[in-house]
């Protein structure tokens, strides 16, 4: 999925920043209900483009290329990066 790949690219480029951690949490939350993201963190730590990405994640099922398989792969990538358990 384009949105997942876009966020994973940002996270991979800057894996240890606060904004990447918030994006990772938002991505995980959009892929599985066991994960959550703080809306306060979204508001405080993300710039406008990051907040727009989170808004798209909130409507992930409306993405033209929506795929449960892509969501599973994104979670695997976040685990490999050590950003989720």
pTM value? 0.95
pLDDT of residue 65: 98
- Distance between CA atoms of 56 and 58, rounded to whole angstroms? 5
- Distance between CA atoms of 70 and 49, rounded to whole angstroms? 22
pLDDT digits (tens, 9 = 90+) for 29-42: 999 999 999 999 99
**Position 15 pLDDT exceeds 90:** no
Q: How far is CA 74 from CA 13, 17, 43, 54, in A?
A: 15, 19, 23, 15
Task: Tell me the average pLDDT across 12-31.
Answer: 96
């Amino acid at each position: 999925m384009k949105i997942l790949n876009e966020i994973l690219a940002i996270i991979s480029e800057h894996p240890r920043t606060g904004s990447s951690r918030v994006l990772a949490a938002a991505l995980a939350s959009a892929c599985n209900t066991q994960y959550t993201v703080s809306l306060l963190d979204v508001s405080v730590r993300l710039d406008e483009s990051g907040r727009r990405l989170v808004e798209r994640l909130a409507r992930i099922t409306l993405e033209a290329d929506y795929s449960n398989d892509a969501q599973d792969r994104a979670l695997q990538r976040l685990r490999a990066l050590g950003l989720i358990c």
